[in-house]
Amino acid sequence: MTDPLRLELAAAATTIVVKVGTRVLTRPDGSLDEGKIASLSENLHRIMQTGRKVVLVSSGAVASGMGRLNLKERPKDLAKLQAVAAVGQSRLIQAYDRVLLSLGRTAAQVLLTAGDLDERASYLNIRNTLLSLLEFGAIPIINENDTVSTAELETTFGDNDQLAAIVTNLIRAPLLIILSDVAGLYDGDPALPESKVISTVLKLDESIFSLVRDTKTGLSKGGMAGKLNAARKTTIAGENMIIASGKDFDVLQQIIAGEPVGTLFVAQGQAITSWKRWIGFTAQPRGVFVLDDGARKAVEKDGRSLLAIGVADVQGDFARGDVVALRDKSGSEFARGLTNYSAAEVMRIKGLKTEAIFTALGHAPYQEVIHRDNMAVTV
């Protein structure tokens, strides 16, 4: 049985991003299951036969490398883990390419780091490359470049769910499908028999996020919190996302047919521009402005620019033109924007009226600390 809303969204999804996790692609012992690679590739091929374009964000490089190197346990040492990923990445892309080639399709490996997308020019170049690959009829297979990305340098995307959301925004794909080892978002503990999958989420509010937090500690449970963050990035930008079980890759055909499988997260409002997608959901903030309550309302609710008088505190060391996160006094981020002033300058003008900026700095090239055209609300 089809769902009218899902059928409409599927029909409009001319480009689809599919993300598949390591657990979906591996055997119980953690080794890469090339049979699953083949099944997934065949289903992607079937989607493309409908005239749609497909981008795949695929985990599995470390698992593939462990199998090639006959390792029984995942390395804990960073350098060794990156070496295993380097070995596994080539095997992973070969597995996809072998099957897709037999189907008359071409696989294209794309390895990204968060730093690649921080610079606007690089961001646009990556987008143009991906769009060109889609025009050629290829399937871009994207993964984080684990051999050079390190948490210590804060250059990682966090996980491939976040990378998939960034790619969805990068190419403005109408639909992101995350294939998981769970069937969707449950209304309770997935381990309890009475818990059921929520079919549709129309509004991503605190009641939804609370479903994946421990009521005593507040800590997230498993990987669903990351998937909800990916849903937030995707839906605020104006696109749709579905979390579904990757146990059977035929689920992709069910989604295309508009069947109510998994959990659908519906776009929150109109699509935002590519410029604001980069500011709000891709580029990494270099610092923080803490705003008073009036400034938060002006920015978030009224669509106003940020003035110096609304800045209560400044955190970090950043230059003019850097992306800065906007937080309220409780520490909650609600927007990001390109700052017109450096951290040192804003420290001197915070809390001041606009006409006092020249006296404080000796110059006043901008009336706004962040102009509304260079700002994206992220909640």
Q: Find the mean pLDDT for residues 35-64.
A: 93
Q: Residue 176 sits in which domain range?
A: 4-276
Pick from 216, 243, 276: which residue ends a domain? Answer: 276
Q: Compute the half-sphere exposure of residue 354: CA atoms within 13 Å on the CB side of its CA.
A: 9
Q: Does one domain contain both 15 and 101?
A: yes
Q: Which of 149, 172, 147 is nearest to 17 (CA)?
A: 172
Q: Amino acid letter at 141?
A: I
Strand pairing partners for 244?
A: 179
Give me the CATH number covering residue 125: 3.40.1160.10
At residue 193, does pLDDT exceed 90? no
Q: What is the mean pLDDT of residues 337-356?
A: 96
What local confidence, expressed as pLDDT, does residue 155 receive? Answer: 45
Contact by Cβ (8 Å): 375, 279: yes
Please say if the pLDDT value at position 330 is more than 70.
Answer: yes
pLDDT at 152: 38
Report the 3 state secondary structure along the chain: CCCHHHHHHHHHCCEEEEEECHHHHECCCCCECHHHHHHHHHHHHHHHCCCCEEEEEECCHHHHHHHHCCCCCCCCCHHHHHHHHHHHHHHHHHHHHHHHHHCCCEEEEEEECHHHHHCHHHHHHHHHHHHHHHHCCEEEEEEECCCCCCCCCCCCCCCHHHHHHHHHHHHCCCEEEEEECCCCCECCCCCCCCCCECCEECCCCHHHHHHHECCCCCCECCCHHHHHHHHHHHHHCCCEEEEEECCCCCHHHHHHCCCCCCEEECCCCCCCCHHHHHHHHCCCCCEEEEECHHHHHHHHCCCCCECHHHEEEEECCCCCCCEEEEECCCCCEEEEEECCCCHHHHHHHCCCCHHHHHHHHCCCCCCCCECHHHEEECC
Residues 323 and 356 in one domain: yes
Q: What would the pLDDT profile of 207-218 be if each residue is shown by its tens digit?
A: 898 888 544 444
60 pLDDT band, cuts 50/70/90, is: confident
Q: Are residues 235 and 291 in the same domain?
A: no
Q: Is the pLDDT of residue 129 over 70?
A: yes
Tell me the average pLDDT of the chain. 90
* For residues 168-188, average pLDDT: 94
Q: Based on the domain organization, do 41 and 62 belong to the same domain?
A: yes
Q: What pLDDT score does 31 carry?
A: 77
Residues 237 and 307 in one domain: no
Q: Of the residues 276, 306, 321, which one is the last residue of a structural domain?
A: 276
Q: What is the CATH number of the domain that holds 334?
A: 2.30.130.10
**Is pLDDT at 252 greater than 50 in this prediction?**
yes
**Sorting pLDDT into bands at 50, 70 and 90, what band is 147?**
low
Average the pLDDT over 318-342 and give the result.
96
More confident residue, 270 or 230: 230
Most confident stretch, 121-135, 155-169, 270-284: 121-135
Per-residue pLDDT at 219 exceeds 50? no
Q: What is the pLDDT averaged over residues 250-261?
A: 96
Among 179-188, 268-277, 363-372, where is mean pLDDT lowest?
268-277
Beta partners for residue 17, in sequence order: 55, 176
Tell me the backbone φ, ψ of residue 48, rounded to 5 degrees: -70, -25
Please determine, for residue 76, whether its predicted confidence score (pLDDT) is greater than 90.
no
Q: 171 or 21: whose pLDDT is higher?
A: 171
Distance CA 112, CA 146 (A): 9
In this structure, the answer to whether residues 326 and 238 fall within a common structural domain is no
Output the pLDDT for position 146: 61
| Residue ending a domain, choose from 220, 253, 276 | 276
Lowest mean pLDDT among 30-39, 203-212, 220-229: 220-229
Please tell me whether residues 318 and 359 are part of one structural domain.
Answer: yes
Asked whether residue 238 carries a pLDDT value surpassing 50, the answer given is yes
Q: Are residues 321 and 244 in the same domain?
A: no
Is 322 in the same domain as 233?
A: no
Residue 153: predicted pLDDT:
35
302 pLDDT more than 90: yes
Identify whether residues 128 and 200 lie together within a single domain. yes
> Residue 226: pLDDT above 50?
yes
Are 178 and 243 contained in the same domain? yes
Choose the weakest-confidence range: 29-43, 78-92, 142-156, 187-201.
142-156
Query: Are residue 198 and residue 57 in the same domain, yes or no?
Result: yes
Say yes or no to pLDDT of 221 above 60.
Answer: no
Domain count, the chain: 2
Residue 79, pLDDT > 90, answer no
